[in-house]
Structure 1
Amino acid sequence: MFNRVQNDKSPEELMKLASQFLTELESPFVGRHEEALVITLALLTGEHVVLIGEPGTAKSAMARRSADLLDVKFFKYLLTKFTEPSELFGPLDIRALRQGSYRRITTGKLPEAEIAFLDEIFNANSAVLNSILSIMQERVLYDGYTEIKVPLWTLVGASNRVPEEPELEALYDRFLFRQNVKPLDEEAWESLIDAAWKLEMGNVERPPKVMGMEDLRMLNSLLFKVDLTPIKGKLLRLFMIMNEKELHISDRRKGKIMKAVAAHALLNRRLQATESDLVVLKYTVPRDVDDFDKVNTILIEELKTKERILRELEEIAANVRASERSVAQLEAFDPRLLDIYKNLKVAKGKIQSLVQDVEDEEIRRKAEEVNELIENLTQEIMIKLNM
C-alpha cells in the first residue's frame, strides 16, 4: 500500500523507536495506556482507529501528540451533518474555475494531512462520508473529474456512539482498531488533576520528534518479517471461540488482524509473535460497546501468558496503591471505604483466577506480593469501619 523506502537503521533500532514512541505518546496522559497503544498500533500498520467514548477523555490531544512525535502534517475537525466538503477538503479555486479548471485549494486541509483526527465522524452527511471512505480505503479524494492522491497514513476517528445505521457500516469497518474510551476510575483522579493543572499552567512543552515518517514506513515494512507461525493455531482457536460467542469477524478483518499481531510483536522488540501479542484482538474484534468486555473475558480465559499475567498483576498492584492513598484521606465510616473494600475482594479473586494452575515462580512471587498489599489495606479499612 505504501512506498517502501531505504533506511540505515537496524530492525532492533527501529523496534526501539516504536517502543519509545508509545512511551512518549502516553507519558502526559493519566490512565490512557490502551488508547496510546491502539493509536501506535494503527500507525505501525498504516491502518485507522476509532475511539468511542464521551467527550473530555483526551482523544483529540493524543492524536495531535502522535503527529507532533512524528513531526508530520496534522488536520483535525469536528463533523456535523451540516459540514460542507470545502471545510475538510478546501474551497474551490475561483481563479482556476474562471479559466475552466476545477480544483481545490487544499492547503492546511485533510488532503495534505498525514495524520488526521475527525471528531464525531459518524455525524457527517453522506457526501462528506463517501469522500472520507475513499480517502481511508484508497488514499484518493475523488473530486469532480479530479483524482487527488493524498498522503494520509492514519485517520483517528472519534465518536460518542457505535453507528447503527446501515449506511455507516462500510465506514465503521474501515477502522481496523476500535477502543472504548472510559472515564478514569476514582483512584486516578488525584493524578489526573495534577496532570491537568500542569497543563493549564503551560508546563507541557511540544514533545520532541521521536521518529520520522521514513522510520514509520520501515517499521511498516518490518511487519512482514515477523514470524507469525507460533500463534496461528491459537489465533484460529480464538476465532472459533468468538464465532461461537456470536462475535462475527469478517474474512477481510481476519487477515488484517495478522498485521496487528505483528505490530504488537514489534512494539515488544520481537520478530517472532507470541501468545501475548494476541491481546490485539481486544481492539480489532469488537463491534458494539458490549463486545469489548466479551472479547476481553475470552482473552483472559484463553491467554495465560507470563507477560500478560505479570502485567495484570502489576496493574492490580498500581490500583491498590492508588486506593491506599484514597483510604489515607478518608475519615472513619466514610461509605467510600466500603466500596474500596469490595473492590479489594474482587481484585483478590482476580489474582486467584490469574495464577490458577500457573507454576512459574516469578508469577507466584508477584501474586504473593500483591496479595500482601491487598491484605494490609483490607485490615486498615476494617479498622476504620470498626469491622
Structure 2
Amino acid sequence: MNSSVQELLDKARSFVNELSKPFVGREEESLVVGLGIFTGEHVILIGEPGTAKSALARRAADLVNARFFKYLLTKFTEPDELFGPLDISALREGKYVRITRNKLPEAEIAFIDEIFNANSAILNTLLTLMNERIIYDGYNEIKVPLWTLISASNNVPDEPELQALYDRFLFRHFVRPVSEDKWGELLEASWKIERGEYGDTKPVLSMSDIVEINKLVLSVDISGVKEKLLRIFAIVEDQGIHVTDRRKGKSLKAIAAMAILNKRLKASEEDLIALKYVLARDREEYEKIYAILLEEVKTSEKILRELSEIETNVRETFKFVNRLSDLDPRLVDYLRSFESVREKVRRLSNEVSDDRIREKASNLIVEIDNLLDLIKRKLTI
C-alpha cells in the first residue's frame, strides 16, 4: 500500500473521529454519516428532536469545507425556499431561471430536517436531485454539485407516495437519546459548547479528498464477502424482511466503505456489520437484522457489545458494593468473580488488533480495578 493511499485511509478514520468529538454518545451516528459521505450516498437519521442530528450534519460539512445548505420542511414549504426564487428580470425576457445562490442547488452537503413533510412539487424535484444530481428548471436540465444529502425525521414514513424518497437513503440510522450513564458527560460537553470552548471547526479533509476516498471505496476487493452476503440476504428474507433490489446492489458500497474505515482495501467478514444501516426499514427490522449479523458475522461488534455489557455490570456492582457493610460475606464472591472478569477483558483485548476494542478494554480494566480496590478496602485486605 503506497503512502498516499495510507494517508487517505488515515484521513477517513480521522474524519469520523473528529466528527463525534463535541458530541456525547454519537460515535455511531458519526460513523453512519462518514459512510454516506465516503460513498456519495444519502443518509437519514430517524429519532426524536434534540439528538444532535443537524449539528452533526453541519460539523460534517465544516470538516470537509463543503458548501452547506440547511432547511426545515413544513407542509407549507414552497419550492422557491429550497431551490431559489424565479429571476423576475429573466422571466420578463421569456427565460425561466432560478436564483440559486446559497440554496440547495449549490450545496455539496445538505441537511433537510423533517424531509417527509415535502409536498408533491418538492418531492418530485428531490427525487431527481438525489438520484441523478439534476434539477429540471423549466426547459433546462441543471447538474448540481450535491454529494450527500443528510436528512432527519421523527418517524419512518408510511405513506405510499413517500416510499420512493425513503428508498433513496442508502443509510438509515435510528437515533436514541444519550443513555443515563453518559448524562454527566452530556452536561459537561453541552456547557463547553455553550461557552464556545470547542472553537471553530478546522477541516480535516477537502472535497477533492472525498472524491479520492470514494475512488478507493470503489476499488475495494469485495470478492471474499459475497458468499456470506448472499447468505445474509436469504436469512433476512426468511425472517419476513424484504430488501429492494436497489438496496441489495448498493449494499456492496456500504461494505467497501466500512473496509476503508477499518483501513483496508479488501473487505472482510466484519465489514458486513454495515448492513445494519442499509437493510432495515424501521426499528423493529433493525433489531432483527442486528441480531442476525451478530450471529452470522465474525466481527469486532460482538466483542464491543460484550464489553459494553460487562461495563454496565461493573458500574451497577460498584454502586451496590458501595452500599454494603464492611466484611459482608458477599464481598468475597464479588472479589473472585471480578478478578475473573478482569482476566477475561484482558484476554479479549489481547486477541484482537482493533484499536476501538483495545481502548474500551483498557478503560474497562481501570473501572474493574477501582471496583476490586473498593471490595478489598471493605474486606480490609
Q: Give the TM bin, normalised by the shorter chain.
A: 0.7 to 0.9
Equivalent pair of 2:48/2:175 in contact (CA under 8 Å) = yes
| Offset of residue 198 of structure 1 | 0.6
Aligned mates of 1:360, 1:190 — CA distance in 2? 27
Contact 1:115 / 1:152 at 8 angstroms: preserved in 2? yes
Residues 235 and 108 (structure 1 numbering): CA distance in 2 closer, same or farther, change over 3 Å? same
1:48-127 correspondence runs (5 A) = 48-127=42-121
> 1:238 is matched with which residue?
232
Of the three residues 129, 133, 139, the one matched with 1:135 is 129
CA deviation string 1:349-374 (max 9, x = no partner): xx9xx99xx999737x9999969967
Deviations 1:270-294 (A, max 9, x none): 0111111001111000002211111
Residue 144 of structure 2 aligns with which residue? Answer: 150
Q: 1:176 matched to which residue of 2? A: 170
Which amino acid letter does the alignment assign opposite residue 19 of structure 1? R
Instruction: Tell whether 2:301 aligns with 1:311.
Output: no
Out of 148, 159, 164, the position equivalent to 1:165 is 159
Matched, 1:279 2:268: no
Question: What secondary structure, in the 3-state scheme, does the structure 1 residue paired with 2:111 have?
Answer: strand
Residues 53 and 182 of structure 1 are in contact (CA less than 8 Å); yes or no, is this contact kept in structure 2? Answer: yes
Please name the residue that 1:227 is paired with.
Answer: 221
**Which of 7, 11, 18 does residue 13 from structure 1 map onto?**
7
One-letter amino acid matched to 2:273: V
**Correspondent of 1:203 among 194, 197, 208:** 197
Secondary structure at 1:10 match in 2: helix
Aligned-pair identity in percent equals: 53
1:224 Cα deviation from its structure 2 partner: 2.1
Partner in structure 1 of residue 327 of structure 2: none
TM-score scaled to structure 2, two decimals? 0.84
Q: How far apart are 1:375 and its partner, in Å?
A: 11
Q: 1:36 aligns with which of 4, 23, 30?
A: 30
Check whether the contact 1:317–1:373 (CA below 8 A) recurs between aligned residues: no
Q: CA RMSD in A?
A: 3.3
8 Å CA contact retained: 2:107, 2:145: yes
Q: Does 1:46 align with 2:46?
A: no
Matched to 2:351, the amino acid is E
CA distance in 1, matches of 2:14, 2:42: 21
Q: Could you tell me how far apart the structure 2 residues matched to 1:9 and 1:107 are? A: 39
Counterpart secondary structure, 2:285: helix
Contact 1:29 1:195 in 2 (8 A): yes
- Displacement of 1:206: 1.9
CA distance in 1, matches of 2:206, 2:130: 21
Per-residue deviation at 1:312?
A: 2.8
Cα displacement (A) at 1:201: 1.0
- Checking the alignment, whether the CA contact within 8 Å between 1:96 and 1:102 is kept in structure 2 is yes
Q: Distance in 1 between matches of 2:179 and 2:198?
A: 24
Separation in structure 1 between the aligned mates of residue 266 and residue 249 of structure 2, nearest angstrom = 18
Could you tell me whether the CA contact under 8 Å between 2:42 and 2:148 is conserved in 1? yes
Q: Which runs of 5+ in 2 are unaligned?
A: 325-337
One-letter amino acid of the counterpart of residue 311, structure 1? L
Is contact 2:303-2:348 (8 Å) kept?
A: no
> Residue 17 and residue 86 in structure 1: after superposition, are their counterparts in 2 closer, same or farther (change >3 A)?
same
Taking the aligned partners of 1:212 and 1:181, their CA distance within structure 2 comes to 27
**TM-score, structure 1 as length reference:** 0.83
> Which residue among 345, 351, 359 is the counterpart of 1:362?
351
Does the 8 Å CA contact 1:68/1:206 hold for their aligned counterparts?
no
Distance 1:360 1:97, change over 3 A: closer
Deviations 1:168-210 (A, max 9, x none): 0000000000000011111110000110011111112121111
Structure 2 counterpart of 1:191: 185
